[in-house]
Amino acid sequence: MELFERERPAAPHAPLAERMRPRRIEDFAGQERIVGPGKLLERAIKQKELPSLILWGPPGSGKTTLARILAEATGAEFVEYSAVLSGVKEIREAAKDAEAAMRRGARTVLFIDEIHRFNKSQQDAFLHSVEEGVITLIGATTENPSFEVNSPLLSRCKVVVLEPLSLESIKLIVNRAITDKKNGLGKTPVKLAEGVVDFIAQSSDGDGRAALNAIEAAFMITEPDAQGVRRITIEAAQEALQKKALLYDKAGEEHYNVISAFIKSMRASDPDAALYWLARMVEAGEDPLFICRRMVIFASEDVGNADPRALSVAIAVKDSVHFVGMPEGFIPLAQGATYLATAPKSNASYAAYLEAMADVRKHGALPVPLHIRNAPTRLMKDLGYGKGYKYPHSFTEALVDQQCLPDVVKEKRYYKPTGRGYDKVIADRMKEIERKKKS
């Protein structure tokens, strides 16, 4: 098989996800933030001028599809290979081919999947060709390019962030696949039971490819009935995804009901109820990282400084679940849920922020007091920036009575710790700080 393969129609027996890959930007589902009217990529297509890009996004968000569409829409030749299989030699050969194409008046888009897998020296092999305009590079990565792509190459590319596909986008993709008679499953009569599309969309975690693989698997394991219709049930979708279905309705109400019950049980300091609702979600196949995100938020919003360790526990649960995966991930989830449920509660920092935010919105951008402004230039010093600033470390116990709030709100006290848990220690410390500042 040739290393570089130009764009070609999907083979009839290719996986559904490949057959349903859109060929036009109008058919590209999701990512409206970057491909919508007036956005960067839409303008690039209209002007037929494509900059080098790094497409950063999770699996199944459309990186490869978007790269192919952009190349086709801007009239460029599309060459693709994977960083897993190739090295510097192949990169240089691709550059030579692109130079030959340029002499013929053709432009080349060189697409590199998983570009983060190239080391820094391999990435350097692109620099000259990108800088000279011999190739338009489009790299796809699931990793943060700030860490995985070297600075010289990154500076020559525009980073475009793709997000997990929304539920509505995934539903659109699945419904297209069901009805498409040319590339999809529409050649055979198909009927979906109520809730199948919702379940697949919810369970695909924003991954369009995973959703198409799931509906294709469900189609394959469903035998046609006497009328030749394949009636895909929720049980077939569960089997395809190896997940049990939560009781989702079309609006996902039960999904939000259960996570709400989980949070409110922890807030009520009821570890038994928290464990029950946690088990409901885990056994139904809920994304464990979704649960972890809610626990991290809860640790700050509802436990707060009454137990500062709660946030560390929640982060550790997230890392542990990510590291060990499922099904064993329920073990750190259970530990975290019981810790958060039984921890002392304080929403003082959360409430304080909301109060401060209200003042910001009410009063707008109040001026920073002159004495705490930075003064890096002579002009700023002459204008009084930093004048009279008292450096706390020059004073006993690093405490000094000094105004840091704008005049309009200088008397405000946003943060009011409770008397629960470590919050009480903080409250006592704040009183002591105030007393010593005034002495």
pLDDT digits (tens, 9 = 90+) for 98-137: 888 788 878 888 888 888 888 877 787 778 788 877 888 8
* Average pLDDT of the residues in 168-179: 91
Q: Taking Cα atoms as reference points, which of 211, 350, 171, 205 lies closest to residue 290?
A: 205
Helix, strand counts (H, E) of the chain: 20, 7
**pLDDT > 80? residue 83:** no
- For residue 23, the Cα-to-chain-centroid distance in whole angstroms is 25
What would the two tokens of residue 70 be?
């952009």
**pLDDT > 70? residue 250:** no
Location of each CATH 3.40.50.300 domain in the chain: 16-161
* Average pLDDT of the residues in 8-22: 76
- Give residue 7's pLDDT band: very low, low, confident or very high (50, 70, 90): very low
Q: Give residue 332's pLDDT.
A: 95
Q: Taking Cα atoms as reference points, which of 194, 191, 217 lies closest to residue 204?
A: 217
23 close to 69: Cβ distance less than 8 angstroms: yes
Q: Taking Cα atoms as reference points, which of 126, 118, 107 lies closest to residue 143?
A: 118
Q: Give residue 254's pLDDT.
A: 67
Longest CA pairwise span in the chain (Å): 91
- Give residue 313's pLDDT band: very low, low, confident or very high (50, 70, 90): very high
In this prediction the pTM is 0.54
Which stretch of 85-94, 255-264, 374-383 has the lowest confidence by average pLDDT?
85-94
211 close to 201: Cβ distance less than 8 angstroms: yes
Location of each CATH 1.10.3710.10 domain in the chain: 359-438
- Give residue 349's pLDDT band: very low, low, confident or very high (50, 70, 90): very high
Which stretch of 84-98, 314-328, 362-376 has the lowest confidence by average pLDDT?
84-98
Looking at domain 167-241, does it have CATH number 1.10.8.60? yes
Q: Taking Cα atoms as reference points, which of 41, 74, 75, 37 lies closest to residue 55?
A: 41
- Give residue 365's pLDDT band: very low, low, confident or very high (50, 70, 90): confident
Query: What's the CATH code, domain 16-161?
Result: 3.40.50.300
Q: Give residue 9's pLDDT.
A: 53
What would the two tokens of residue 406 be?
């704008």
Q: Report, at the CATH architecture level, how domain 359-438 is classified.
A: Orthogonal Bundle (1.10)
Rg over alpha carbons for the chain, rounded to the nearest Å, is 28
Q: Give residue 252's pLDDT.
A: 52
Q: Give residue 253's pLDDT.
A: 60
Q: Give residue 245's pLDDT.
A: 52
SS3 226: coil
- Give residue 12's pLDDT band: very low, low, confident or very high (50, 70, 90): low
102 close to 76: Cβ distance less than 8 angstroms: no
Beta strands in 30-113 (DSSP E): 53-56, 77-82, 108-113
311 close to 300: Cβ distance less than 8 angstroms: yes
* Average pLDDT of the residues in 160-179: 89
- Give residue 272's pLDDT band: very low, low, confident or very high (50, 70, 90): very high
Location of each CATH 1.10.8.60 domain in the chain: 167-241
Location of each CATH 1.20.272.10 domain in the chain: 253-342
- Give residue 291's pLDDT band: very low, low, confident or very high (50, 70, 90): very high
SS3 147: helix
Query: What's the CATH code, domain 253-342?
Result: 1.20.272.10
Q: Give residue 146's pLDDT.
A: 81
